Structure 1
Amino acid sequence: MKPASELEDLIDMMARLPGLGPRSARRAVLHMIKKRGLLLVPLAKAMSRVAETARECLNCGNIGTSDLCEICETEKRANGELCVVEDVADLWAMERAGVFKGRYHVLGGTLSALDAIGPDELRIPKLLDRVATEEISEVILALNATVDGQTTAHYIADQLEGRVSVTSLAQGVPIGGELDYLDDGTISAALRARKSI
């Protein structure tokens, strides 16, 4: 017997999430329906609140519920260190590791000639503005160890040459690795052993 169209719509939407296919989405929906009061209703309410309040930080690109995220609003994090990451998931991975105490800048991706993504399609101009206007002494490039990530790192390093110290994460980040999938200890070691570019 085929589920009602509302259920099929929910299953189809869940199947679009990263890591879930149609079968996993179907199992998740059935589990939520069985635990309607504990899971489905609170999840629907939380998703509705997030849909109304979530926004991109105007300064760094993080996701929060106000125009400036909590990290950008905290004065003690204005210590001159700016960590550049590809996306918000990478920022959250760095925060989860708990070793970086400065501020962040989310690029929103990497340079890619194949996908016609240049500096203006990313938040690179905003990064250059921040370096010019904020008291930044070091830019840490915490970009994924992929071809596009390294191309982006070299481009940014060239743009910032002679303006600030530019470093990158060191040991522990494998070639082709993505920060969001690394454990906290690996991220901590890579940040502590960063090197000049």
Structure 2
Amino acid sequence: MAKGPFSLAAADVERLIRLLAKLPGLGPRSARRVALHLIQQKETVMRPLAEALADAAEAVGVCSRCGNIDTADPCEICADPRRDPASICVVEQVGDLWALERASAFRGRYHVLGGVLSALDGVTPEDLNIETLIPRAAEADVTEIILATNATVDGQTTAHYLTERLEGCGVTITRLARGVPVGGELDYLDDGTLITAFASRKGV
């Protein structure tokens, strides 16, 4: 027996809900509310959102130098001659980079690891963007590597590993200090806390 138009529509809506539920912070119930809002605002929200997602999927990629996401490679930050080439700030995720940029706390360049070392989750150094960091740290104009991993157990483990790997590069290695609470994550900190943490960084 062929499905009627209502069944087809319902299947499409359920597919939308399942996809929305995969987004961070959205469970099945929240995804249903978002789906309903999108459907009710089809012309003003849903269609523009669909177009923006399609454009982003086509244009946005990963910077081959630092791991940031942008529509250009190298990304805008790597290509900006006004950024200080002497300092590289190492962060876990692109969201952390965005948080630091939002606070205007740093004017150097970045390196995105793409995660942290985790024995529990089976994340090893080979799973992270570490091997490209070593030659960057050894470049003549680089004098400081700032380890801005989160103040979690895995973040501290990753920072310790990176400190050992960077020892022979001839650069000063610093970590974010006062202002970042233990267990805190950069993307959730206010701008003042981030600025204080950068101003108080110290050698390791």
TM range (shorter): over 0.9
| Secondary structure at 2:16 match in 1 | helix
What is the rounded CA distance, in whole Å, between the counterparts of 1:114 and 1:22 in structure 2? 27
| Secondary structure at 1:4 match in 2 | helix
Whether 2:10 is the aligned partner of 1:11: answer no
Whether 2:190 is the aligned partner of 1:186: answer no
**Which stretch has the larger CA shift, 105-114 or 163-172?**
105-114
Structure 1: gaps (5+ residues): none
Which amino acid counterpart does residue 45 of structure 1 have in structure 2?
Answer: E
Question: What residue in structure 2 maps to residue 27 of structure 1?
Answer: 33
Identical-pair percentage: 55
Which amino acid counterpart does residue 194 of structure 1 have in structure 2?
Answer: R
Offset, 1:134: 5.2
Question: What residue in structure 2 maps to residue 145 of structure 1?
Answer: 151
| Secondary structure at 2:82 match in 1 | helix
Aligned length: 197
**Which stretch has the larger CA shift, 111-120 or 42-51?**
111-120
Whether 2:57 is the aligned partner of 1:51: answer yes
Q: TM-score, normalised by structure 1?
A: 0.95
Question: What residue in structure 2 maps to residue 168 of structure 1?
Answer: 175
Once the two structures are superposed, residues 141-182 of structure 1 have per-residue CA deviations (whole angstroms, 9 ceiling, x without a partner) of 000011111111111112222510010111111111111111
Offset, 1:38: 1.1
Structure 2: gaps (5+ residues): 1-5
Which amino acid counterpart does residue 102 of structure 2 have in structure 1?
Answer: R
Larger Rg: 2
| Secondary structure at 1:30 match in 2 | helix
The partner residue of 2:74 within 68, 75, 86 is: 68
Whether 2:94 is the aligned partner of 1:84: answer no
Whether 2:150 is the aligned partner of 1:130: answer no
How large is the Cα RMSD of the aligned pairs? 1.5
| Secondary structure at 1:140 match in 2 | strand
